C-alpha cells in the first residue's frame, strides 16, 4: 500500500488481486498496474469491448472496502455511443473508459479475461485456460516524414512499444508486405504478434478476430476444427477421408508400399497434404472467413502419418528398432506443407513419443491428463494401430499394438465404415437366438413398431465397428460362439440363424425381405477369427504394460478415438478387448487426439507441458517383447483364456469356458475343430 493518502483501493474479482492506484485511473490502467487478467485489443480506444468490468457497491468487510456509485465516473460519450460486437450488459462498463475515483470492487467476467476458462462441447475440450500464441494489437502508426528516414516497420515497432510495451519485435517478409498494404489505406492498423516476439500479419483498421485450425491426421480420416484463437470458440468442424487408403488400409501396408515403390513416397505425401489444404479451405468456407485469417495450426498423427505428412522417410518405422527421424515438437510454416492459410501462418506439430507411439498419443495424454491421473488409468485409442497408455501421476507407460483394420470393417465379410444404414448395435435372444439391431440413421431397434417406416430410405448394407464388437460378444453370450471362437454348429438344429457353409458355420444377422436389393448379412467363422486376432493383439499390449508397471488391476479405462467413443463399454470388456474393470469406470474419451490438438492450438503453456511430459513417458515395444506372444495366445479366447472377470460377472452371465483354447498356430479360417463342452445358454 502506498503512503499517498490520495490513492484509492481497488479489488479485482475473481482473481482477488488488489492494490492502490491514483484517482482518475481507468479500470484498464489499474488492471495493468496490478497484473490483472483484463483483455483488450484496441488498447483503450473504446472500440473492441473486450475490457468490460462490472463494478460492485456496498460494504466489503473481507476487503475492508465500502463503496458507492461515486467511486466510478459516469458513462461518457464513448460508452454511451458504443456499438461494438460485444454489447455492454446493463451492469457492465468499458474498463478503458471508466475512471476510478474511490475504493471499489470490480469483477472481470469470463468474456473479458485474456486467459479465459472455456469448455468446447463440439470437440469435447475440457475446462482449460486459453493462452493464445498469437495475439492482436490495435495501434496508430506515425506518418512518414521527409526529415525522418525511419521505415514503416520501424514506425510500427515504435507505436507498439509505446502503446503495448512490446520490445524487440521481428517481422518476416510476408508480414512487412501486409504492413505496407494496410498502411496504404489507413495509419490505424491491427497487427498479429506471435509469442510476443514476431509480427506475423497486419490489417487496415480494427480487427478483433484471428483463427487457428487443429487437425488430427488419422490413418483413415483427417478431422479438423477451426477456432477463434482469443476466445476458443469453435467456428467449424469437418473431416475428409485420408486418400492414402488407396495405398493400403493399415499403416504397415503403406510403409510396405514405400519399401517396394521408393518413388511412391512422394505420392503418399502429396496426397495427404492436398487433403489438409482441402480441409482447411472447407473449414474456412463453413465459418465464412478468408483463409488469410488463419494464422496458427496444430497437427497430430501416429508416427507413420507424421512422417509421411512431413515428407520424411517412413521405411525405418517398418522394422526394429523403429527409428523416428524426429521425435521432438516442430514449428513449420504452413506453406512448407502446402497448406493454404495466411502466408505467415505457422504449424505446430506435437512431439512423438517413440517408435509407433506418436503425436496423436501425446495429444491424447494432454487431453486426458493421463500424467496427473490418480490410481491406474488405461487409455486406449482403438484403430488400425491401437495406442495404449497405462499409469498415472507417478509413472506412465505407452505402447502400440497392431490390431489391423478389422474393427473398422475391413477383413470382415459384411463389414463397412460407420455410415448411414450400417448396423451399429446388436442384441441376440438367449433362447431363440433371434437378433435385433439398430442402424445408423435411426434411433429405433429392428423389432420396434415403425422401424420399417423410419428406415425406408436407408439400405442396410453392412455392420460397422461397434456393431461387429457387439454381435461377436452377443454370439458368445448366447452360446453361439464358444470360448475358442468356434461357431457351434449344433445350434443349427434349433435355429435357422445358424447356417452351414462347408466345414464351418455362420450366423445370419440380417435376412432382407424377398424382392429387396439389400444383401444378406452373415457373420462367418473367418469374421470371428479376424476379430479374435485384433482384440488379442490389443489385450496383449495392455497386459504387457501391466507387467512392466507391476499391477494386476486397472482402476479406470478410457476408450479414445472416433471408434472407441462408440463402443459400448460392457461389450468392450465382454469381448476381451480390454481387461476386467468396474464398468462404471470404463468410459469414452471421445476424440482425445483431436481434443489435445485443440488444447495445443489454444495454449502455448500446454505445448510446453506436453513437450515435458513425453520425455517422461516410458515406451514398451510390443514387437520385441517375448511375453507378448504368450499374452496374445491367451487373449485369443473370448473373453480370455485364464483372466477372471469379477466386475463383468456382476453385470452379465458369462458362459462357461471351453476345455481348450486356440494355439499360436491358429489363423483366421485355419485350425481344426476340437471337442468342446456345450456353452451354457443365458
* pLDDT tens track for 305-332: 999 999 999 999 888 888 999 999 999 9
Helices and strands: H and E segment counts in the chain: 17, 31
The fraction of the chain above a pLDDT of 90, given in percent, is: 66
How far apart (Å, rounded) are the C-alpha atoms in residues 268 and 274? 10
Confidence of residue 659 (pLDDT cuts 50, 70, 90): low
Confidence of residue 660 (pLDDT cuts 50, 70, 90): very low
459 contacts 519 by C-beta, under 8 angstroms? no
Q: Report residue 468: phi and psi, to 5°.
A: -65, -45
At 309 the pLDDT is: 95
> Under CATH, which number does the domain 8-112 receive?
3.10.20.30
What average pLDDT does range 205-233 have in this prediction? Answer: 93
Confidence of residue 121 (pLDDT cuts 50, 70, 90): very low
Query: Residue 144 pLDDT > 70, yes or no?
Result: yes
C-alpha distances out from residue 437 to 471, 507, 632, 652, 654, Å:
9, 14, 31, 19, 21
Strand partners, 234: 227
Residue 3's CB: how many other CB atoms inside 10 A?
6
Taking alpha carbons only, the member of 165, 350, 133, 89 closest to residue 230 is 133
Residue 298, burial from CB neighbour count under 10 angstroms (0-12, 13-18, 19+): buried
What average pLDDT does range 235-259 have in this prediction? Answer: 83
At 517 the pLDDT is: 67
Write the pLDDT tens digit of every residue in 636-650.
999 999 999 999 999
- Mean pLDDT score of the chain: 88
Same fold, 8-112 and 134-204: yes
Residue 491's CB: how many other CB atoms inside 10 A?
21
At 524 the pLDDT is: 95
Taking alpha carbons only, the member of 292, 334, 294 closest to residue 310 is 334
Is this prediction's pTM over 0.85?
Answer: no
Parse the chain into domains and list their residue ranges: 8-112, 134-204, 211-349, 363-399+534-649, 407-529
Write the pLDDT tens digit of every residue in 292-304.
999 999 999 999 9
> Which three-class secondary structure state does DSSP give residue 382?
coil
* Strand-pair category, 125-129 with 117-120: antiparallel
CATH 3.10.20.880 fits 134-204, yes or no: yes
Residue 329's CB: how many other CB atoms inside 10 A?
19
C-alpha distances out from residue 639 to 415, 431, 531, 646, Å:
21, 21, 12, 13
At 661 the pLDDT is: 43
The x, y and z cell numbers of residue 593, run together, are 487426439
Write the pLDDT tens digit of every residue in 404-438.
767 766 678 888 777 788 899 999 999 999 999 99
What average pLDDT does range 67-96 have in this prediction? Answer: 90
User: In the 8-state DSSP scheme, what is residue 388?
Assistant: E
Query: Residue 682 pLDDT > 60, yes or no?
Result: no
At 676 the pLDDT is: 32
Domain 211-349: which CATH class? alpha beta
Query: Residue 673 pLDDT > 50, yes or no?
Result: no
Look at 115 and 241; give whichever has higher pLDDT. Answer: 241
Amino acid at each position: 500500500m502506498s503512503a499517498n493518502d490520495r490513492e484509492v483501493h481497488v479489488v479485482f474479482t475473481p482473481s482477488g488481486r488488489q492494490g492502490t492506484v491514483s484517482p482518475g485511473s481507468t479500470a484498464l490502467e489499474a488492471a495493468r498496474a496490478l497484473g490483472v487478467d483484463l483483455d483488450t485489443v484496441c488498447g483503450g480506444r473504446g472500440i473492441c469491448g473486450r475490457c468490460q468490468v462490472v463494478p460492485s457497491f456496498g460494504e466489503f468487510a473481507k476487503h475492508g472496502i465500502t463503496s458507492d456509485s461515486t467511486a466510478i465516473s459516469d458513462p461518457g460519450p464513448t460508452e454511451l455511443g458504443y456499438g461494438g460486437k460485444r454489447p455492454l450488459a446493463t451492469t457492465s462498463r468499458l474498463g478503458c473508459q471508466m475512471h476510478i475515483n474511490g475504493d471499489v470492487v470490480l469483477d472481470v467476467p469470463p468474456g473479458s479475461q485474456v486467459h479465459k476458462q472455456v469448455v468446447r462441447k463440439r470437440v469435447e475440450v475440457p475446462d482449460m485456460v486459453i493462452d493464445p500464441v498469437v495475439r492482436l494489437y490495435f495501434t496508430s502508426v506515425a506518418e512518414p516524414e521527409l526529415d525522418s528516414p525511419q521505415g514503416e516497420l520501424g514506425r510500427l515497432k515504435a507505436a507498439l512499444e509505446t502503446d503495448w510495451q512490446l520490445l524487440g519485435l521481428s517481422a518476416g517478409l510476408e508480414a512487412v508486405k501486409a504492413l505496407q498494404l494496410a498502411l496504404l489505406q489507413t495509419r490505424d492498423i491491427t497487427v498479429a504478434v506471435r509469442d510476443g516476439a514476431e509480427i506475423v500479419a497486419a490489417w487496415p483498421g480494427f480487427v478483433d478476430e484471428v483463427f487457428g485450425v487443429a487437425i488430427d491426421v488419422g490413418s483413415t480420416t483427417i478431422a479438423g476444427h477451426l477456432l477463434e484463437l482469443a476466445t476458443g470458440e469453435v467456428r467449424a468442424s469437418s473431416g475428409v477421408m485420408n486418400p492414402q487408403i488407396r495405398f493400403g488400409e493399415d499403416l504397415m501396408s503403406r510403409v510396405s508400399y514405400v519399401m517396394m515403390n521408393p518413388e511412391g513416397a512422394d505420392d503418399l505425401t502429396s496426397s495427404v497434404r492436398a487433403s489438409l489444404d482441402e480441409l482447411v479451405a472447407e473449414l474456412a468456407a463453413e465459418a465464412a472467413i478468408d483463409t488469410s485469417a488463419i494464422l496458427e495450426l496444430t497437427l497430430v498423427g501416429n508416427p507413420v502419418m507424421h512422417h509421411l505428412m512431413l515428407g520424411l522417410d517412413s521405411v525405418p518405422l517398418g522394422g526394429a528398432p523403429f527409428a523416428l527421424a524426429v521425435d521432438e515438437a516442430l514449428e513449420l510454416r504452413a506453406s512448407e506443407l502446402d497448406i493454404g492459410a495466411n502466408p505467415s501462418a505457422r504449424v505446430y506439430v506435437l512431439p512423438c513419443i517413440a517408435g509407433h507411439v506418436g503425436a496423436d498419443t501425446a495429444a491424447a495424454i494432454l487431453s486426458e491428463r493421463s500424467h496427473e491421473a490418480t490410481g491406474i488409468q488405461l487409455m486406449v485409442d482403438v484403430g488400425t494401430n491401437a495406442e495404449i497408455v497405462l499409469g498415472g501421476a507417478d509413472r506412465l507407460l505407452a505402447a502400440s499394438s497392431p490390431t489391423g483394420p478389422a474393427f473398422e470393417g475391413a477383413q470382415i465379410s459384411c463389414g463397412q465404415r460407420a455410415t448411414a444404414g450400417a448396423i451399429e448395435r446388436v442384441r441376440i435372444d438367449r433362447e431363440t437366438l433371434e437378433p435385433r439391431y439398430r442402424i445408423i440413421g435411426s434411433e429405433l431397434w429392428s423389432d420396434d413398431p415403425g422401424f420399417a417406416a423410419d428406415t425406408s430410405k436407408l439400405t442396410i448394407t453392412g455392420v460397422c465397428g461397434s456393431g461387429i464388437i457387439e454381435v461377436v460378444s452377443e454370439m458368445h453370450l448366447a452360446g453361439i460362439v464358444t470360448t475358442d471362437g468356434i461357431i457351434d454348429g449344433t445350434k443349427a438344429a434349433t435355429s435357422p440363424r445358424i447356417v452351414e457353409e462347408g466345414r464351418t458355420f455362420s450366423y445370419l444377422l440380417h435376412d432382407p425381405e424377398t424382392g429387396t436389393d439389400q444383401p444378406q448379412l452373415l457373420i462367418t467363422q473367418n469374421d470371428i477369427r479376424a476379430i479374435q486376432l485384433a482384440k488379442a493383439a490389443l489385450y496383449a499390449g495392455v497386459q504387457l504394460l501391466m507387467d512392466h508397471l507391476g499391477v494386476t488391476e486397472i482402476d479406470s479405462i478410457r476408450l479414445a478415438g472416433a471408434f472407441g467413443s462408440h463402443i459400448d463399454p460392457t461389450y468392450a470388456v465382454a469381448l476381451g478387448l480390454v481387461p476386467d474393470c468396474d464398468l462404471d469406470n470404463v468410459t469414452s474419451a471421445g476424440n482425445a487426439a483431436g481434443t489435445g490438438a485443440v488444447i495445443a492450438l489454444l495454449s502455448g503453456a500446454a505445448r510446453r507441458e506436453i513437450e515435458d511430459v513425453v520425455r517422461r513417458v516410458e515406451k514398451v515395444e510390443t514387437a520385441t517383447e517375448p511375453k507378448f506372444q504368450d499374452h496374445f495366445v491367451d487373449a485369443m479366447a473370448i473373453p480370455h483364456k485364464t483372466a477372471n472377470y469379477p466386475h463383468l460377472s456382476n453385470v452379465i452371465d458369462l458362459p462357461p469356458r471351453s476345455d481348450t483354447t486356440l494355439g499360436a498356430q491358429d489363423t483366421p479360417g485355419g485350425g481344426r475343430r476340437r471337442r468342446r463342452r456345450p456353452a451354457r445358454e443365458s
